[in-house]
Homo-oligomer: A and B are copies of this chain.
Amino acid sequence: MHSGQLSINQATAETSGTDDLAVACRAAGIDQVSLWRHKYLGQDPARTAATLRGHGLRVSSLCRGGFFTGTRPEQEAYEDNRRAIEEAVILGSPILVLVCGPAVGGDIAAAESAIRRGIERILPAAGDAGVTLAVEPFHPMFLAERSAVVTLAQAHRLLDDLTDPALALAIDTYHVWWDPALQAGLDRAAGRIAAVHVADWLVPTPSMLAGRGLPGDGVIPLGDLLTRIEATGFTGPVEVEVLNPDVWARPVAEVTADVRDRMARLW
């Protein structure tokens, strides 16, 4: 595949401040970051936006909206997602990534219904704001804790049903690589993929949530997978998102340079 745009997802630098991450990205020649809402400087998206602009950085996406299921009332989920969309606007982020919410108590059907209702309700605000909502299918092992949307086929169904130009897909290699129906899902993803996350699958896997690998350290054929994603017409930034305490423990400037070099080898 061609040498695409690179973005660092902030979860790769969970223990660093957003200002340090910005400096490290620029030092590595990376001009895009994907932010997490709990990492705003001074808990202030406007101040964060100004700092990133000062470093010449763009925000490729914001993580995360969603969580339409679970213990919080639907109205609270709605208001939180409204705020996330407003923050995306302040940050200049074209995309808000949705982690849809778990199947609480194992009730998958109820979760799917709540997710559909929640997205449908928030879509007009996203459209008005010019922010694309990107449904991210999660690995099935997160069904009961993070997302009842665990396959690309499920995410497609949401897009099919809600038919709104502000609704799209986020594809994370760590979450989807196992799926025997992955290529079938990619075959119908033309024009639908808004965001791409990259992490590798380590063997053995040290932890479900934070046992992800830097590109090349695991077993996912990432170069091949990115080529297949690009074949759908996707030309946006690839966001490297590696939740792993071993990565977090390294100096952030070393990590950003390492990620840049690893992705150059993949491309």
A: which residues have CB within 8 A of B? 103-108, 139-141, 143-145, 150-151, 153-154, 177-181, 201, 203-205, 208, 218-221
**For the complex formed by this chain, how many copies does it contain in all?**
2
- Indicate if the CB atoms of B203 and A205 lie closer than 8 Å: no
Could you list some 21 contacts between A and B, CB below 8 A?
A103-B219, A104-B219, A105-B219, A106-B201, A106-B220, A107-B221, A108-B180, A139-B140, A139-B141, A140-B140, A141-B178, A143-B178, A144-B203, A144-B205, A144-B219, A145-B204, A150-B178, A151-B180, A153-B180, A154-B180, A205-B208
Chain B residues with CB under 8 A of A141: 139-141, 178, 205, 208
Query: CA of A119 to CA of B221 in the docked complex: distance in angstroms?
Result: 26
Query: CA of A126 to CA of B104 in the docked complex: distance in angstroms?
Result: 42
- Indicate if the CB atoms of A145 and B203 lie closer than 8 Å: yes
A104 to chain B, nearest CB (A): 8
Query: CA of A145 to CA of B180 in the docked complex: distance in angstroms?
Result: 16
Chain B residues with CB under 8 A of A105: 219
Chain B residues with CB under 8 A of A140: 139-141, 178-179
